[in-house]
Amino acid sequence: MTINQINNLAVATEPAQNDPGSNDPGSNNSGSNNSGRNNSGADSPGPINPGRAFSKRAIAIAAIVTVCAAGSIASGLHSRLAAETRLRASAQVSAIPYVDVVSPKASADADEIALPGSTSAFNDTPIYARTSGYVKHWYVDIGARIRKGQLLATIETPELDQQLQQARADLENAEANLQLATTTAARWQHLLETDSVSHQETDQAVSDLHSKQALVNSSKANVERLEQLQAFESVTAPFDGVVTARNTDIGALVQAGDNSGPKELFHLAAIQTLRVYVAVPEIYAAFVKNGEQAKLTLDALPGETLTGTVVRNADAIDATSRTLNVELDVPNPAGRLLPGAYAFVHLRVPPHPGSVTIPSNALLFRAEGLRAGVVRNGHVELTPISIGQDYGSTVEVISGLSARDTVIVNPSDSLANGAAVQLVAKSAGGGRQ
* Nearest by Cα to 341 from 308, 312, 318, 390: 308
What is the C-alpha to C-alpha distance for residues 222 and 203, in angstroms, rounded to an integer? 29
- What is the model's pTM? 0.56
pLDDT tens figures, 156-201: 988 888 889 999 999 999 999 889 889 888 888 888 888 877 888 8
What is the amino acid identity at position 428?
Answer: A
Asked whether the beta carbons of 233 and 157 are under 8 A apart, the reply is yes
* Nearest by Cα to 57 from 1, 2, 12: 12
What angle is formed at CA 119 by the lines to CA 115 and CA 123, rounded to 5 degrees? 145
Q: Is the pLDDT of residue 243 over 80?
A: yes
Asked whether the beta carbons of 156 and 241 are under 8 A apart, the reply is no
Question: What kind and span of H or E run contains 68?
Answer: helix 50-95
Please enumerate in sequence order all residues whose Cβ is within 8 A of that of 39, keeping only pairs 6 or more positions apart, or say none: none
**Which pLDDT score, from 0 to 100, does residue 228 have?**
87
Q: What confidence tier does 259 reach under pLDDT thresholds 50, 70, 90? A: low
Q: Is the pLDDT of residue 24 over 70?
A: no
pLDDT tens figures, 289-340: 999 999 999 988 888 899 999 999 999 999 999 999 999 999 998 888 899 9
Q: Give helix then strand counts, H and E, for the chain.
A: 5, 22
Residue 347 or residue 90, greater confidence: 347
* Nearest by Cα to 350 from 306, 401, 309, 398: 398
Residue 116 or residue 46, greater confidence: 116
Q: Is the pLDDT of residue 256 over 80?
A: no
Which domains, from first to last, does the chain contain? 3-40+47-92 (no CATH), 128-253 (1.10.287.470), 353-423 (2.40.420)
Side-chain-side CA neighbours of 5 within 13 Å: the count stands at 5
DSSP string, 106-166: EP-SSEEEEEEEEEEEEEEEEEE-SS-EEEEEE---TT-EE-TT-EEEEEE-HHHHHHHHH
What is the C-alpha to C-alpha distance for residues 333 and 146, in angstroms, rounded to an integer? 14
What is the C-alpha to C-alpha distance for residues 60 and 162, in angstroms, rounded to an integer? 155
Question: What kind and span of H or E run contains 269?
Answer: strand 264-281
**Which pLDDT score, from 0 to 100, does residue 146 have?**
93
With H, G, I as helix, E, B as strand and everything else as coil, classify residue 190.
helix
pLDDT tens figures, 371-423: 999 999 889 999 999 988 777 888 888 888 988 899 999 998 888 888 888 88
- How much helix, strand and coil, in percent to the nearest 5, is found in the chain? 35, 35, 30
158-193 and 199-231 helices, crossing angle to 10°: 160
What is the C-alpha to C-alpha distance for residues 324 and 326, in angstroms, rounded to an integer? 6
Q: What confidence tier does 91 reach under pLDDT thresholds 50, 70, 90? A: low
